[in-house]
Amino acid sequence: MAAIANETFSSLQLLLKAPSKDAVCQLCADSFPSGSAESQRLAENTAGILSVSASEANELIAALHTLSHHILFHNLTAPEQILALFPESFHLSLKNLITKIMLDHSPRWRNEVLSNQISLPQLVEMDWRVDMKTASDSVSRMAVPTCLVNMKVKDSSCPESSSSVSSVTVELSRETLDTMLDGLGRIRDQLSVVAGK
């Protein structure tokens, strides 16, 4: 696991100037989202709360951002794992407070990251039916069975407010259906082998 730079921890010591534990908690929460390190408004608010310069506020926000993302990336879920990141000389009460805040916020941050992750569309629902296609000409009459597969697919990249579920209907002949089922059977077998390892 990659270590966090010492500059990060020296910037975190600025939190000792916070007026309350709630202020520290709020700064940790505000510094998590991507883009927070570039937010001028957040830097100004932080500088005002801690009575530090704008550059020191920016360094603190970047340090909190780095620490929270490091904890999520390495899936640190125990207090001992997070406490081990800090240098021995780091302020003990502040180290414990930051650790507690990071552990409290980690589940929500993890869900945020996962929900904003780019992913392929997901199958929500599937329905099928068999139809007979009929055709005739002056010589003969024919009836060909076909399978209609209707799939409802959710596009995870769409914002929640818009309708992100779309419907797709596919018509398959018997030969195409056999080929598809054979391919899906192979996929199932490969997944079973991978899951078994």
Length of the chain: 197
pLDDT tens profile 109-161: 988 887 777 777 888 899 999 988 777 665 556 778 889 999 998 876 655 54
From the list 46, 39, 44, 40, the residue with the least C-alpha distance to 15 is 46
- Give residue 78's pLDDT: 92
- Give residue 161's pLDDT: 45
- Give residue 138's pLDDT: 57
Who wins on pLDDT, 18 or 122?
18
pLDDT tens profile 31-61: 998 777 778 889 899 999 999 998 999 999 9
First to last CA, the chain: 25
pLDDT tens profile 162-182: 557 889 999 998 899 999 999
Tell me how far apart the alpha carbons of residues 48 and 31 are, in angstroms, rounded to a whole number: 15
3-class secondary-structure state, position 39: coil
> In angstroms, what CA-CA distances link 72 with 53, 94, 178?
29, 20, 45
pLDDT tens profile 62-76: 999 999 999 998 999
Sheet holding 165-172, edge to edge: 122-136, 141-154, 165-172
Domain borders along the chain are 6-115, 122-196
- Give residue 2's pLDDT: 61
- Give residue 5's pLDDT: 78
Tell me how far apart the alpha carbons of residues 160 and 163 are, in angstroms, rounded to a whole number: 7
For 81-101, the DSSP string reads HHHTTS-TTS-HHHHHHHHHH
pLDDT tens profile 92-103: 999 999 999 999
Tell me how far apart the alpha carbons of residues 183 and 40 are, in angstroms, rounded to a whole number: 53
Who wins on pLDDT, 105 or 114?
105
- 123: phi then psi, degrees, rounded to nearest 5: -75, 125
Tell me how far apart the alpha carbons of residues 65 and 45 are, in angstroms, rounded to a whole number: 16
